[in-house]
Amino acid sequence: MKLSKVYRSPNNNFQQVKETIKKGGVTADIRLPKCNFTPQPYSVVYFVNSGSEANELAILMARIFTKNYEIISLRNGYHGMSNLTMNVTAQSHYKYPTLQAIGTHHVVNPDVYKGLWGGSKCRDSPVQALRVCSCKGSECEAKDNYIKQFKELFDYSLPKKGAAAFIAESIQGVGGTVQYPKGYLKEAADIVRKHGGLFIADEVQTGFGRTGEHFWGFEMHGLVPDIVTMAKGIGNGFPLGAVVTTPTIANALTQAAHFNTFGGNPVSCAAGLATLEIIEDEKLQENSGNVGTYLLLQLEQLRSELPIIGDVRGKGLMIGVELVAGSGTNDALPVPKFMKFWDYCREQGLIVGRGGIHGNVLRIKPPMCVTKEDADFCVKVIKKASEKILLKEDSVYVGGV
């Protein structure tokens, strides 16, 4: 995608915001039925200002509702930068020598590319990890092994009374677009429920149709969360977040107050409403599926040609390309080389994110209105950047992490 290209829909939502301001701020009506929650029991929405705040509130609700305290999350997960969510997050880049919240537990990440177990059929993606396995049909040994690890948390670390909640992204975003083995998330959520806890789906990155096939990431795991948190895509860049749950769980907040000044303000809600309408009217979920799959398959082709690309993964327009030190290894491409690669992409007009615990994953999460032409451009630049690194042309770059 060329930097010069401005992604603004013809039905520009700022127009709607302007109208709302002119009218003196009429409370906007965000019609959640458009969000296609299935099944229907989610009828309570709390509007907040960010993803971190949404997760804070979800955890507060879970603790009050269950009367349990312990929160479980996955290593390599990212859930925000407030004090509590920083502790639920399990990546050392986002941890500092500050007070660490007690009662947060991180379990082994079911990463089928780099983790202890994984195979060539694990992912719900058009592109699989290059890892041999002999699993047949719906069986997945990697999933079973990771679930065993998950169960052990209850044996060794948690009080007998159980947990308040397990929170997870449907695909890890900041962690480098990591996907879990099929069936893992549902089984893990069921285990937590058996131990008195709730499952919180963090849809801050995966929600609103980005993954193409589904409106919500959790749908690809065949599970129904107890609480869903959302932000980012909900307002197309406008500060807005939300926590959605059932009346029974929300009732917990009759015993505690959650107050913020700006949550649910009419201007943000107008932006949210307009965003939902545009996603629907312009079929952006469908576009994410079509363009995303097209891009993923082309990137897979690059992986087979270029030893610097160790893995390609994702779904829809939530894509990860893991750069490695060489063929046959999953060791991260050293940082100076990654920075050189990244800079080259930017100079060519391709902006991609960076993620993963070693900072060696290209996070491709473009606006949901990108075209196949944009995807071709993206592949062309990544190919050229890979070739430059492989040829070791002036490969010393002095840059930070």
Ligand X SMILES: Cc1ncc(COP(=O)(O)O)c(C=O)c1O
Nearer CB in complex with ligand X: 13/55 = 55
Q: Which residues, listed in sequence order, are joined to residue 312 by a DSSP beta bridge?
A: 321
Q: Looking at 56, 111, 124, 202, which residue binds ligand X (CB under 6 A)? A: 202
Identify the CA nearest to 195 among candidates 156, 144, 154: 154
The span of 167-175, 192-200, 354-362, 376-384 binding ligand X (CB under 6 A) equals 167-175
Q: Which is nearer to ligand X, 121 or 313 (CB)?
A: 313
Q: How far apart are CA 397 and CA 337, in angstroms?
A: 7
The one-letter amino acid code at 171 reads: I
* Phi, psi of 93, rounded to the nearest 5 degrees: -60, -25
Binding residues with ligand X: total (CB under 6 A) = 14
Shortest Å distance, C-beta 228 to ligand X: 12
Strand spans (E) along 63-161: 71-74, 104-107
Closest approach, Cβ 301 to ligand X, in A, equals 29
Q: Is residue 192 a contact partner of residue 198, using CB atoms and an 8 Å limit?
A: yes
CB of 227 to ligand X, least distance (A): 13
Does position 300 interact with ligand X (CB under 6 A)? The reply is no
* Binding test (CB under 6 A) with ligand X, winner from 62, 204, 228, 375: 204
| C-beta of 52 vs 76, nearer to ligand X | 52
Close Cβ partners of 31 (under 8 Å, ≥ 6 residues apart): 273, 276
Cβ proximity to ligand X, 162 vs 359, nearer residue: 359
Local structure of 245: helix, strand or coil: strand
217 within 8 A of 125, measured Cβ to Cβ: no
Whether 267 contacts 17, CB under 8 Å: yes
What is the rounded end-to-end Cα distance, in angstroms, of the chain?
25
3-state secondary structure of 353: strand
Contact residue for ligand X among 16, 20, 205, 245 (CB under 6 A): 205
Helix (H) or strand (E) holding 346: helix 335-348
Footprint (CB under 6 A) of ligand X, residues 38-57: 50-52, 55
Place of tokens 């940082």: 335
Q: What part of residues 61-90 is at the interface with ligand X (CB under 6 A)? A: 78-80
- The single residue among 164, 188, 231, 284 that binds ligand X, judged by CB under 6 A, is 231
Among 56, 169, 300, 374, binds ligand X (CB under 6 A): 169
Among 173, 235, 264, 367, binds ligand X (CB under 6 A): 173
In this chain, which residue has its C-beta nearest to ligand X? 51
Q: How far apart are CA 196 and CA 66, in angstroms?
A: 7
CB of 161 to ligand X, least distance (A): 27
The SS3 assignment for 256 reads coil
Residues 13-42 that bind ligand X (CB under 6 A): none
The nearer residue to ligand X, 74 or 381, going by C-beta atoms, is: 74
Q: Angle, to 10 degrees, between the axis of helix 266-281 and the axis of helix 284-305?
A: 70
Least Cβ distance, residue 85 to ligand X (angstroms): 7
Smallest separation (angstroms) from ligand X to the CB of 351: 16
Question: What is the smallest separation between the CB atom of 375 and ligand X, expressed in angstroms?
Answer: 23
**Positions in the binding site for ligand X (CB under 6 A):** 50-52, 55, 78-80, 169, 173-174, 202, 204-205, 231
